Amino acid sequence: MNAAVAALTTPARWLPAYVGVGSNLEGPVAQVRRALGALAELPGTRLVASSPLYRTQPFGDVVQPVFVNAVAGLLTQRTPEELLNDLRSLERALGRVTALSERWGPRVIDLDLLVVGREARATAELTLPHAGIAGRDFVLYPLADIAPDLDVPGLGRVAALRERVANRGIEKL
């Protein structure tokens, strides 16, 4: 069989991926649920788990409403770059206005690519695992609900990372 035929008949490899979901504007609970549903519709991707929702304190120095956060567990055939582009497109479709969003400011929806398989990289466009994952309660608490034994490349197991992060008033809804 030549390479072209093999490429057409060989099933694509499915990789686990985890996406942080957050909102603190325009009905955050509904926004997060809407985003989780939309993640299930991404091409070449299956939603296989979603955490409970959490009420969390904003990160950074901007005064703003509390957030609602969750984590989605996916299986994907997309490359990390393709998946990141899909997430950015989905954010726009769900009402995020990036040009007006301050760093760590309020937002209708925020989708962060946290982990993809065993990928570890840092480019101008994409850092895997997500640069802030090890210090964020709003990521680690919901992630521990669906993947406590996940080994985050270069950082360790999610359950252990969660034990080391300060709880800033996070509350399961």
Sequence length of the chain is: 173
How does pLDDT run across 15-73, given as a tens digit for each residue? Answer: 999 999 999 999 999 999 999 999 999 999 999 999 999 999 997 788 899 999 999 99
pLDDT tier for residue 2 given thresholds of 50, 70 and 90: low
Q: What is the pLDDT of residue 52?
A: 98
pTM comes to: 0.91
On whether the CB atoms of residues 140 and 165 are closer than 8 A, the answer is: yes
* Residue 3, H or E segment: helix 3-9
Q: What is the pLDDT of residue 105?
A: 77
pLDDT tier for residue 86 given thresholds of 50, 70 and 90: very high
> Would you kindly state where each structural domain of the chain is located, as residue ranges?
12-172
CATH architecture, domain defined by 12-172: 2-Layer Sandwich (3.30)
Q: What is the pLDDT of residue 59?
A: 79
Checking if the pLDDT of 153 tops 80, the result is: yes
Active site residues: 96, 107, 110, 112
Checking if the pLDDT of 100 tops 60, the result is: no
Q: What is the pLDDT of residue 3?
A: 53
Q: What is the DSSP letter of 158?
A: H
On whether the CB atoms of residues 59 and 112 are closer than 8 A, the answer is: no
> Token digits for 38?
């939309």
- Report d(CA 145, CA 158) in Å as an integer: 10
HSE at residue 33, side-chain half, CA atoms within 13 A, is: 6
